[in-house]
Amino acid sequence: MTCTGCALLCEDIDVHDGEVRHACRIGAAHILNRQQIDPMVNHEVVSIDDAIRRAAALLADAERPMFLGFGNSVTETQAAGVRLAEKIGAGIDTCSTHTGLIDDIVHSWVRTCTLPEVRDYADVILFWGADPMNTHPRLLSGYAYYPRGKNRQHGWEEDRTAIAIDVRRSHTASICKGVYEIVPGRNIEFMDALMLALRNKVPKTVYDSKQILKLASTLKKAEFGVIFAGPGLVESVPRGAIIRLMDKLNEFSDFRILPLYSPYNLRSIAAVKPAATVTTTTTDTATDTTAAREHQGDCTPTSKPTLASLREADCLLCVGFDLVSSLPQAHDIDASIIVIDPNKTLTAVCADVVIPCAAGGVDLAGTAVRMDGVEIDLPCIMETGQAGAGIWAGTPARMSDASIMKRLLEAV
Amino acid sequence: MVSIMEIYQLLPKLNCKECEKPTCMAFANSLLTGESVLEDCPPLYRSEYESQLEQLTTMLAPVKGATETGLIVHDELCFGCGNCVVACPVNVANDPHGAAVGLAPSNDKVILAVVNGVVTAANVSECRRFGPNRILCDVCIVTCPSNAIEFV
């Protein structure tokens, strides 16, 4: 069975008799989660048909609708969501800062690889602005560091070097062989210093030059290097800087980059509709976001929503995305909020319409794209509504979010 | 984590051998490894040692869940990342096509496996720390990012 707790999409999960084996804590909690929510309109419980009717009416009346999320939906739902957005002229915002890097990877502007290739060949692994031990707990044990691979038979002790670059000494850093602490807000300076060191020049920087030269030396000697780019990297440096660094590294060795984000199917929506995320939005999210970034001295084009862009929309459809947790100030915006989510979230508590749906990979089968671009089948772990069906016994059957999208599509 | 000396300081230190150990220090060690229990020391239950008994009971509470090798997994700290499962040399030897290559363990011969998001121990007799010829292997400890694994 496949776990959809994070973008790793671990396929070796075993679930029986209410026991989840081999999944990490995030995955086990995701599969065993029973925090279901009832369909609601204006905070009152209604039937799911009424909730869908009300959502369709809100979307049909909206002049500037915006769809948020889709990273935690199966590919089939994303396709239906894109059709709905095109029909009503809504913008789609994946609400992830990794969209730009995924775009670069899809267009082959930076070299990438698959996770099994990391396991078989990688000898130098960088976790930059990422703490996978907390976000993707099985990354190091499954692919990046500890397993024996085809050309890495000795595993972590002799064959691999893991390096953490982050603003704090994270859990990941505690088990890495090299740790470099970034001064908050000075990620780009670290990158510039590293670029100089790679050219055999001694960088004049706030960081320890000797340490940077040592890092450059390690990277140059790599046979197959991989950079796992977390939000700490992609949010704080321009897209071009990452491309330049990758080009420079590839002059000396073979370096690949993989984005490290949490939504399990972000790669699919970001790769399929990169244009929709930044250009077709009727609320001109791209301009707002870029303006906000420029104001901070950073012009990285991302699709992270800003409060200003959200205030311009008059109807927000959050699909598997907890807006209020990500942006707490959004709880009192004037736009009507529609939530389609398997679980109770903060956004669902203050939403105008709540439509519960099945969770992809748990009680809904489908497909998803792993963080390295490989399409993975998601079999259904457990059917809801089945009498005596183990962990889900007695729970009501949930409608798939793709079916909800199709009904909305018909209704509007 | 509690040390042998801390336990020894609270024992009666009579070396009476009623616990069938040669000295109170040896008894302290056996308490820590789970080989003996406090009830094995009758003098400790005299009224003059009441406060020491209370302290020892509190001190040894975390050790109760330890396996025969002294392994303790702190459930509240464990991420279920499986680093220890993949790195453990015994797991690698017993499951070369499963745990050794980063996949879920494919047989029951492994020592460590993740269940419900927390690592659990089984087959402890296979552990390098088991038995009289044990070695102080610490792979599962050094690969744990949250210090959830401990040996007493």
- The per-residue pLDDT string of chain B (152 residues; one tens digit each, 9 = 90 and over) reads 678 898 999 999 999 999 999 999 999 988 887 778 889 999 999 999 999 999 998 888 777 767 777 788 888 999 999 999 999 999 999 999 999 999 999 988 899 999 999 999 888 888 888 877 778 888 999 999 999 998 87
Q: Which residues in chain B touch residue A12, judged by CB atoms under 8 angstroms apart?
A: 103-104
Show the tokens assigned to A28: 């086990």
In a domain, A73, yes or no: yes
- Domain assignment present for residue A16? The answer is no
Average pLDDT, chain A: 85
Minimal CA separation from A29 to chain B, in Å: 8
CA A95-B82-B87 angle, 5° bins: 130
Statement to judge: residues A143 and A255 lie in one domain: yes
* In a shared domain, residues A105 and A240: yes
State whether A244 and A111 are in the same domain: yes
Chain A hits for B81, CB-CB cut-off 8 Å, are: 24, 133, 137-138, 140-141
pLDDT digits (tens, 9 = 90+) for B21-48: 999 999 998 888 777 888 999 999 999 9
Per-residue pLDDT reduced to its tens digit, A287-325: 333 333 333 333 333 455 677 777 888 899 999 999 888
* Closest-CA distance of chain B to residue A138, Å: 5
B142 touches chain A (CB under 8 A): yes
Q: Under an 8 A CB cutoff, do B115 and A172 touch?
A: no
On whether both A169 and A280 belong to a single domain, the answer is: no
Question: Which residues of chain B lie closer than 8 angstroms to A133, CB-CB?
Answer: 79, 81, 145-146
Task: Report pTM.
Answer: 0.84
Q: Are residues A133 and A171 in the same domain?
A: yes
Average pLDDT value for residue range A4-19: 89
Each residue's pLDDT tens digit, A179-200: 999 998 899 999 999 999 999 8
Q: Which residues pair with A356 in a beta bridge?
A: A341
What is the phi/psi pair of residue A230, to 5°? -90, 180
Cα(A10)–Cα(A370) distance, integer angstroms:
9
- The residue of B81, B101, B112 whose CB has the most chain A CBs within 10 angstroms, and thus the best one to mutate to test that interface, is B81
Give buried/exposed letters for A390-412 (b at 16+ CB in 10 A, else e).
ebbeebeebbbbbbbbbbbbeeb
State whether A338 and A362 are in the same domain.
yes
Q: Which residues of A, range 106-125, sit inside 8 Å of B by Cβ?
A: 119
Reported as a single tens digit per residue, the pLDDT across A137-193 is 999 999 999 999 999 988 788 899 999 999 999 999 999 999 999 998 899 999 999
The interface pTM score, or ipTM, of the predicted complex is 0.83
At A362, phi and psi to the nearest 5? -105, -70
Are A70 and A201 in a shared domain? Answer: no
Strand pairing category for A353-356 and A40-41: antiparallel
Is position A6 within any domain?
Answer: no
Nearest one of A263, A351, A356, A327 to A74, comparing CA atoms: A263
Q: Which CATH class is domain B71-151?
A: alpha beta
Same domain assignment for residues A384 and A357: yes
The tally of domains found in chain A comes to 2
CB-CB neighbors (< 8 A) of B97 in chain A: none
Inter-chain contact A137–B78, Cβ cutoff 8 Å? Answer: no
Which of the listed residues A221, A241, A259 is the one where a domain comes to its end? A259
Same domain as A65, residue A190: no
Q: Residue ranges of the domains in chain B?
A: 4-64, 71-151
Same domain as A305, residue A320: yes
Strand partners, A143: none
Q: Are residues A281 and A309 in the same domain?
A: yes
A–B: how many Cβ contacts below 8 A? 98
Which of A210, A229, A259 finishes a domain? Answer: A259
Tokens of B4: 């042998």
A251 in a structural domain: yes
Q: Which residues pair with A367 in a beta bridge?
A: A377
Look up the domain containing A352 and give its range.
36-96+265-411
Domain B4-64 fold: 3-methyladenine DNA Glycosylase II; Chain A, domain 3 (1.10.15)
